A and B are shown apart, each in its own frame.
Chain A
Amino acid sequence: MANRIDEKFNQLKFDRRGGFIPFIVAGDPNLETTKDLILLLAETGASVIELGVPFSDPVADGVTIQASAERALRNPINVKDILEVVAKVRQAGCETPIILFSYYNPILQFGLRKFAAEAENIGIDGILITDLVPEEAKEFRRLLTERDLALIMLAAPTSSDERLQKICEKASGFVYAVSRAGVTGARIDSSSDAETLVKRLRKFTDLPIAVGFGISSAQQIKEVWQYAEAAVIGSAIVAEIARSNNSLEIVENVRHFVKELLVQ
């Protein structure tokens, strides 16, 4: 079994390239723009696209993504709407791996089994649940595995070796290494915690490792590529959405920003 995520990381390895994983919140400021952004990110070199499910109480997020979720929730939006957007970009021929990044409750209310079935049909490749640690993930993991969907697990610098092992045993697709203790958000200082964490994770897994939280510049991405397979950029892209006045401007500003990020 190899879904789009595995294939993509194999390809990156073969090409000796680092992966770029952009994050946006679905529905910010509307679903039409989200569709355009996914197609844009796929075209400008995203290895995997992380699509955030907006939630009313995003405890793991800093102010930038909190504000993005608030903008998204000004219009009625739910998990079904988000799956439909992904269906549209698949119909448009986009084959970039797409994973959802969600808090647990919206998925729980949608129905875990129903989510796994519909996500597979539509062409979602995996899901990451911010507030679902391995101890609580057993049932959902089983349902996702039946459908060849990846459950991407988070590992943190505070995680003990025992926990890292547990996380790696439950993870599929890739492991998401949180660069530092804290909420999401762009920070200027680069952290050596991330590199240490990635090295610790290698003891427990052969899966690719992506580093996220606080990465916002081309320089930081290059640093991450020295020791990990991919870098996740979230708040910095979301900030481009926030400073734009309309959908056209959003797409242009994000296009420009991503090109600058990936300049060699």
Chain B
Amino acid sequence: MDFQPNELGYWGEFGGRFVPETLMSPIEELTSAYFAVRDDAEFQAEFLNLLQDFSGRPTPLFHAKRLSEKLGGAQIYLKREDLGHTGSHKINNAIGQVLLARKMGKKRIIAETGAGQHGVATATVCALFGLKCVVYMGTEDMRRQSLNVFRMQLLGAEVRGVDAGAKTLKDAINEALRDWVTNVDSTYYLLGSALGPHPYPLMVRDFQTVIGKEARQQILEKTGGLPDCLVACVGGGSNSIGLFHPFLQDENVRMIGVEAGGKGNNLGEHAARFNKAGGGKIGVLQGTKSYLLQDEHGQIALTHSISAGLDYASVGPEHAFLQSIGRVEYASANDAEALAAFQTLSLTEGIIPALETSHGIAHAVKIASQMSPSKIMIVNLSGRGDKDVNQVQEMIDGTPSS
């Protein structure tokens, strides 16, 4: 199995292109432009060069010894995406797609953002190349992540608040799609996760696989073998697919994606799309067929998570496929577990993780202790937690911090 989608963008029954006709020509244009650079040595060299000199790759693979000892189980290694420029893995995809947009002659970039990390990464690369940048963000997320709003503005981006629905990531994507459909000629839509119509899930995954390629080489160098287990949080699914993909052929490597369990198991209380009892079911949203949180009539449900970046009703179609064939397991960590993991990692390793990442840590903590100390686990430390410090202070102290 080569884990590549077919020409219509399907992995098994998941993926495809479900968009208004107006977007089909731009999407076809994007697809040909992307496939033209996908194996182009010059483009890939330019991409790698920026990852290295602008973003600071390769990111380290760090042995979290104190945490591993404390848990008394598997040796936990952290892939330090938090150390990349702008503080999360989102920069990898932003660099790749901005280079592509430049090739296509697009001068205006639009993006959606949940936690703000993709918005910041996009605004950063647009500033680097002098491109106009508009970022759509739900007003609830703007409240939760006000620091990132200001960062984007400092970088010259215009942040447009979206007041529809739950005022979070899904609503921001709707508004970005409306902008794109209105400004198709001038505008490049820089989607931030492995979601949306083909070719986005493939393209975003490709740009993020640098994480897994580096991690694979680093763990071989450090331990002489492959890891036993990979763990990463899954919102749309870009950091996790980026880590997992280069290991998919390694049959003995177990992989676990961690969704947001929120505050309860009922529809509306979580963002665990693979939780069938909690309302997760196959459907079509925002261009792709995948697992969705929806009611029995096909209306998309509200979701909840303490982390804005995981608070989304759908999941990337490649994840839906990997789940369906049993190659990747999906678990969830709830708000309280993520918050505890946020504090645990800060105290034991001196690393403050993003709240999104904390979900991955929480599950790693849960299962590492049941594994033998000879086992190796890699956790994707997808982003740093500076942006979340105010929110966490509010939750711990029970008082508003500002």
The answer on A and B forming one complex is yes
A207 nearest CB across to chain B (Å):
16
Q: From B177, which residue of chain A is reached at the shortest CB distance?
A: A59
Q: Answer yes or no: B16 CB below 8 A from chain A CBs.
A: yes
> Are A108's CB and B283's CB within 8 A?
yes
**Using a CB-CB cutoff of 8 Å, which residues 293-334 of chain B contact chain A?**
294, 296-300
Tally chain A residues at the interface, Cβ within 8 Å: 38
Name A136's contact: one of B18, B22, B25, B178 (CB within 8 Å): B18
Q: Answer yes or no: B165 CB below 8 A from chain A CBs.
A: yes
> Are A79's CB and B300's CB within 8 A?
no
Q: Answer yes or no: B50 CB below 8 A from chain A CBs.
A: no
Interface string of A144-184 (1 = CB under 8 A from B): 00000000011111111001000100000000001001110
Q: Answer yes or no: A135 CB below 8 A from chain B CBs.
A: yes
Q: From A153, which residue of chain B is reached at the shortest CB distance?
A: B21
Q: Which residues of B contact A167 (CB under 8 A)?
A: 21
Give CA–CA (A182, B177) in the complex, Å: 10
Q: Answer yes or no: B174 CB below 8 A from chain A CBs.
A: yes
Name A57's contact: one of B17, B22, B300 (CB within 8 Å): B300
| Most chain B CB inside 10 Å of its own CB: which residue of A59, A79, A155 | A59
> Are B178's CB and A183's CB within 8 A?
yes
Give CA–CA (A78, B297) in the complex, Å: 6
> Are A160's CB and B25's CB within 8 A?
yes
Q: Which residues of B contact A109 (CB under 8 A)?
A: 281, 283, 294, 296-298
Give CA–CA (A66, B174) in the complex, Å: 11
Q: Answer yes or no: A83 CB below 8 A from chain B CBs.
A: no
Interface string of A198-229 (1 = CB under 8 A from B): 00000000000000000000000000000000
Q: Tally A-B pairs: CB < 8 A.
A: 112
Q: Answer yes or no: A45 CB below 8 A from chain B CBs.
A: no
Give CA–CA (A15, B20) in the complex, Å: 33
Give CA–CA (A133, B283) in the complex, Å: 16
A170 nearest CB across to chain B (Å):
11
Q: Answer yes or no: B202 CB below 8 A from chain A CBs.
A: no
Given contacts A105-B285, A158-B184, contact A131 B18 (CB under 8 A): yes
> Are B298's CB and A105's CB within 8 A?
yes
Q: Answer yes or no: B369 CB below 8 A from chain A CBs.
A: no
> Are A182's CB and B182's CB within 8 A?
yes
Give CA–CA (A104, B20) in the complex, Å: 11
> Are A183's CB and B25's CB within 8 A?
no
Give CA–CA (A105, B284) in the complex, Å: 5
B164 nearest CB across to chain A (Å):
7
> Are A108's CB and B21's CB within 8 A?
no
Given contacts A105-B300, A135-B17, A136-B17, contact A156 B22 (CB under 8 A): yes
Binding site of B, secondary structure by majority: helix, strand, loop or mixed?
A: mixed
B37 nearest CB across to chain A (Å):
21
> Are A107's CB and B298's CB within 8 A?
yes
Give CA–CA (A105, B295) in the complex, Å: 11
Given contacts A110-B298, A131-B284, contact A57 B21 (CB under 8 A): no
> Are B284's CB and A133's CB within 8 A?
no
| Most chain A CB inside 10 Å of its own CB: which residue of B8, B178, B281 | B178
Q: Which residues of A contact B19 (CB under 8 A)?
A: 59, 131, 133
Q: Which residues of B contact A60 (CB under 8 A)?
A: 20, 178, 181
Given contacts A55-B299, A79-B297, contact A163 B24 (CB under 8 A): yes
Given contacts A133-B17, A158-B184, A181-B182, contact A108 B298 (CB under 8 A): yes
> Are B165's CB and A56's CB within 8 A?
yes
Name A178's contact: one of B21, B25, B26, B284 (CB within 8 Å): B21
Q: Answer yes or no: B286 CB below 8 A from chain A CBs.
A: yes
Give CA–CA (A159, B185) in the complex, Å: 12
Interchain Cβ contacts under 8 Å between A and B, 25 examples = A57-B170, A57-B174, A57-B285, A57-B300, A59-B19, A78-B297, A79-B298, A105-B284, A105-B285, A106-B298, A109-B281, A130-B20, A132-B18, A133-B18, A133-B19, A133-B21, A154-B20, A154-B21, A156-B22, A159-B21, A159-B24, A163-B24, A178-B20, A181-B182, A182-B22
